[in-house]
């Protein structure tokens, strides 16, 4: 018996209109990702990586076709429902970390927990655990400007997983980091996938980053294409 | 604490923490609000001060009888036979009587006189009021601050303390030329800053003689047994003379005049202020749009994390409110420091100069402050809506 995929896109069509011109991105995209997978998505600029990530994040919706994550049809939800769903089921790791500069590390990590009915003490305990998990214990009070890029991205990862989501979406998580920091971040993502069974979808241009994933999907002109292993 | 409130608080905190990044434009918004608030407070203080000066002059226990179909002293004329009829009335007419049974009354006449503040300055029109010797004692709140009252029949005057302090040559013992004759200043009186302090008082017969107004009486002031006695007096007046006479309370007489001048001040003040407020609202809108633009990544990031549109709206709106509130507070403080107690004068009672003090009281502060907050509310609303409509895709690709 085959298990239903955790993430399922079927016949997804998506395009944009810029000025009077229609720009098609996907015409009939299909995708199935099982729970616990770690998928890297690669492809040239304009191939649709960002559009795919935006749709998986519920920030954008397909023009046609279905998009479900964990049996929830995101394409049928309104904007507010997708926002709530995102807050409870998904973490996002940004290329440029997107930490709020006026909040310290602990406060940045705490942000998603403010959307949950937790007491201040419960939130503090969970933030502490997450910072410990990403190796930043003792740096709770440090502001982003006082941290290296690698440390900031680890705060970003802690923020993404603090509400214990099943899915992590990573948008070029190593794109702004040196090799050593990038390796540490990738190691952490692998750990989260292996040990905590997070399903991870990572958009990247970096082949070395893609090798951390269990499999790599190549997007080109709005279609997944087969690539020979390098 | 509700989840919505938590979101709003953390976003508000983030907004305020990032204010130093846009300090100049935020300060300019606060200052433009402050300017509007200060200007409005100035006009309101002027109107309030004038009202206060005139309200302080009138007593509900003093009746002013006017003739000739007018409800102001200017233009009023009471025939001599009517005065004799009133003074000879017996029984209760609602007026206090003296030990001899006569009415506590004062026949009065106001003559405008031109007085120069200094030799090289244009003259100002002041009110010279001729009255019976009992006139000052009928009024409430009037007290001699120096010297003595004028003597019956003599060319002597007592002057209000505002005139004594603002015009040269009104020291006690000084001779002052009013009209064609010289008058001797025998005293100064205070009247709690009311419009009385802008008047010069002299003996009725002396004033009539000096200005060729023999036999003329504009008004008859009477001390009522109580505010409710006015109706009794009016009922008796209808039978006193063939010419129309009406008694109004001194309080109403001055309030009516203060309303006329106050309305005039506000008639000019509000449009000027509202025009400025429109400009300040446009400035606030521009400032807050800059704020939203400056915080695009932060707003989009928290929205991508699941924060609601409503909390985004509220946080941006609060920022506009807070900056406007700072501006309003600055404007109120400045207006209080500059305007409150400022001596001013205008053509007021009996077409003569009436002095008053600008008054920045609680009402003035509240009204001006509310306008300042309204600028923040209106100027911040559209940018707050714009903040809720930022494309979240900006957060995924932006360098934070």
Kindly report, residue by residue over B159-181, the tens digit of the pLDDT: 998 888 888 889 999 999 998 89
Is A4 a domain residue?
no
Nearest CA in chain A to B310: A80
B375: confidence class by pLDDT, cuts 50, 70, 90: very high
Q: A112 vs chain B: nearest CA distance in angstroms?
A: 6
pTM of this prediction exceeds 0.80: no
Of A171-175, B217-221, B355-359, least confident by mean pLDDT is B355-359
Is A82 a domain residue?
yes
Is A29 a domain residue?
no
Q: B291 vs chain A: nearest CA distance in angstroms?
A: 15
Between chains, do A83 and B396 touch, taking CB under 8 Å as contact?
no
The beta strands (E) that lie in B82-180 are given as: 105-116, 123-131, 143-147, 156-160, 175-178
CATH number at residue A141: 3.40.50.300
**Count of domains in chain A?**
1
Query: HSE of B128 in the Cβ direction (CA atoms, 13 Å)?
Result: 27
- CB proximity A61 to B under 8 Å: no
pLDDT in tens, B251-260: 888 888 777 7
pLDDT at residue number B328: 96
pLDDT at residue number A140: 93
**Considering only residues 71 to 100 of chain A, which have any Cβ-Cβ distance to chain B shorter than 8 Å?**
80, 83-84, 86-88, 92, 94-100
Is A18 a domain residue?
no
Q: Does B70 or A103 have the greater pLDDT score?
A: A103
pLDDT at B199 over 50: yes
pLDDT at residue number B256: 80
pLDDT at residue number B220: 94
pLDDT at residue number B395: 64
Whether A123 contacts A113, CB under 8 Å: yes
pLDDT at residue number B69: 79
Q: B383 vs chain A: nearest CA distance in angstroms?
A: 20
* Mean pLDDT, residues B42-67 taken together: 85
Between chains, do A102 and B3 touch, taking CB under 8 Å as contact?
no
Buried b (16+ CB within 10 A) or exposed e, A130-147: bbebbebeebbebbbeeb
pLDDT at B396 over 80: no
Q: Does B269 or B157 have the greater pLDDT score?
A: B157
Residue A22: Cβ within 10 Å count: 9
pLDDT in tens, B92-130: 888 998 888 888 999 999 999 988 776 667 788 888 999
Whether A176 contacts A132, CB under 8 Å: no
- The per-residue pLDDT string of chain A (230 residues; one tens digit each, 9 = 90 and over) reads 456 799 999 999 999 888 788 888 999 999 999 999 999 999 988 888 989 999 999 988 999 999 999 989 999 999 889 988 998 899 999 988 999 998 999 999 999 998 888 899 999 999 999 999 999 999 999 999 999 999 999 999 999 999 999 999 999 999 888 898 999 999 999 999 999 999 999 999 999 999 999 999 999 888 888 665 44
- CB proximity A59 to B under 8 Å: yes
pLDDT at residue number A226: 65
What residue numbers bound the domain in which A46 lies? 36-60+78-225
- CB proximity A60 to B under 8 Å: yes
- CB proximity A127 to B under 8 Å: no
Between chains, do A100 and B14 touch, taking CB under 8 Å as contact?
yes
CB pairs under 8 A between A and B: 84
pLDDT at residue number B324: 95
B56: confidence class by pLDDT, cuts 50, 70, 90: confident
Q: B326 vs chain A: nearest CA distance in angstroms?
A: 22
Render A9-46 in DSSP notation, one character per residue: EEEEEEEEEETTEEEEEEEEEEEEE-TT-EEEEE--TT
Is A16 a domain residue?
no
Token code pair at residue A152:
């900031």
Please report, rounded to a whole number, the percentage of residues in chain B having pLDDT higher than 70. Answer: 95
Whether B249 contacts B62, CB under 8 Å: yes
| Cα–chain center distance at B376 | 27
Nearest Cβ partner of B395 from A94, A101, A103? A94
**Considering only residues 171 to 200 of chain A, which have any Cβ-Cβ distance to chain B shorter than 8 Å?**
171, 176
pLDDT at residue number A230: 46
């Amino acid at each position: 018996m085959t298990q239903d995929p955790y993430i399922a896109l079927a016949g997804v069509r998506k395009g944009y209109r810029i000025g009077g011109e229609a720009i098609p991105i996907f015409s009939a995209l299909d995708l199935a990702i099982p729970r616990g997978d770690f998928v890297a998505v690669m492809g040239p600029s304009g191939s649709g990586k960002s559009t795919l990530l935006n749709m998986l994040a519920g920030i954008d919706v397909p023009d046609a076709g279905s998009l479900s994550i964990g049996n929830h049809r995101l394409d049928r939800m309104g904007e507010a429902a997708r926002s709530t769903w995102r807050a409870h089921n998904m973490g996002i790791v940004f290329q440029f970390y997107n930490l709020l500069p006026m909040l310290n590390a602990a406060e940045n990590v705490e942000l998603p927990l403010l959307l949950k009915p937790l007491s201040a003490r419960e939130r503090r305990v969970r933030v502490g655990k997450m910072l410990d998990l990403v190796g930043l214990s003792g740096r709770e009070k440090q502001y982003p400007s006082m941290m290296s890029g690698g440390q900031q991205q680890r705060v970003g990862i802690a923020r993404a997983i603090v509400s214990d989501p099943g899915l992590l979406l990573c948008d070029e998580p190593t794109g702004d980091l040196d090799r050593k920091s990038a390796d540490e971040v990738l190691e952490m993502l692998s750990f989260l996938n292996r040990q905590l069974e997070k399903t991870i979808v990572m958009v990247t241009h970096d082949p070395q980053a893609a090798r951390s994933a269990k499999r790599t999907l190549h997007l080109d002109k709005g279609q997944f294409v087969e690539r020979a292993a390098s | 604490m509700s989840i919505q409130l938590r979101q709003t608080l953390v976003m508000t905190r983030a907004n305020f923490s990032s204010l130093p990044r846009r300090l100049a434009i935020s300060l300019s918004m606060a200052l433009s609000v402050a300017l509007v608030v200060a200007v409005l407070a100035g006009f309101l203080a002027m109107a309030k001060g004038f009202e206060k000066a005139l309200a302080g002059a009138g007593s509900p226990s003093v009746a002013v009888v006017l003739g000739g179909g007018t409800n102001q002293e200017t233009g009023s004329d009471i025939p001599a036979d009517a005065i004799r009829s009133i003074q000879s009335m017996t029984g209760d007419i609602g007026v206090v009587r003296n030990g001899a049974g006569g009415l506590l009354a004062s026949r009065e006449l106001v003559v405008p006189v031109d007085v120069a503040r200094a030799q090289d300055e244009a003259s100002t029109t002041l009110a010279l009021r001729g009255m019976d010797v009992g006139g000052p004692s009928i009024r409430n709140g009037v007290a001699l601050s120096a010297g003595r009252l004028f003597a019956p029949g003599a060319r002597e005057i007592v002057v209000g303390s505002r005139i004594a302090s603002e015009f040269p040559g009104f020291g006690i013992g000084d001779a002052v030329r009013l009209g064609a004759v010289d008058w001797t200043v025998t005293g100064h009186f205070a009247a709690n800053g009311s419009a009385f302090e802008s008047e010069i008082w002299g003996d009725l017969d002396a004033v009539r003689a000096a200005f060729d107004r023999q036999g003329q009486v504009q008004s008859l002031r009477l001390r009522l047994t109580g505010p409710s006695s006015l109706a009794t007096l009016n009922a008796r007046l209808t039978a006193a003379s063939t010419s129309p006479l009406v008694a109004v309370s001194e309080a109403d007489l001055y309030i009516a005049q203060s309303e006329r001048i106050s309305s005039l001040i506000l008639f000019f003040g509000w449009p000027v202020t509202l025009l400025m407020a429109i400009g300040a609202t446009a400035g606030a809108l521009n400032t807050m749009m800059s704020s939203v633009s400056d915080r695009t990544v932060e707003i989009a990031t928290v929205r991508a994390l699941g924060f609601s549109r409503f909390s985004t709206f509220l946080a941006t709106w609060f920022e506009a409110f807070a900056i406007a509130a700072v501006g309003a507070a600055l404007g109120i403080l400045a207006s209080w420091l500059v305007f409150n107690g400022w001596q001013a004068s205008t053509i007021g009672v009996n077409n003569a100069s009436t002095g008053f003090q600008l008054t920045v009281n609680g009402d003035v502060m509240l009204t001006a402050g509310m306008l300042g907050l309204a600028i923040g509310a209106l100027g911040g609303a559209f940018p707050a809506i714009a903040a809720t409509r930022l494309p979240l895709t900006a957060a995924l690709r932006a360098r934070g």
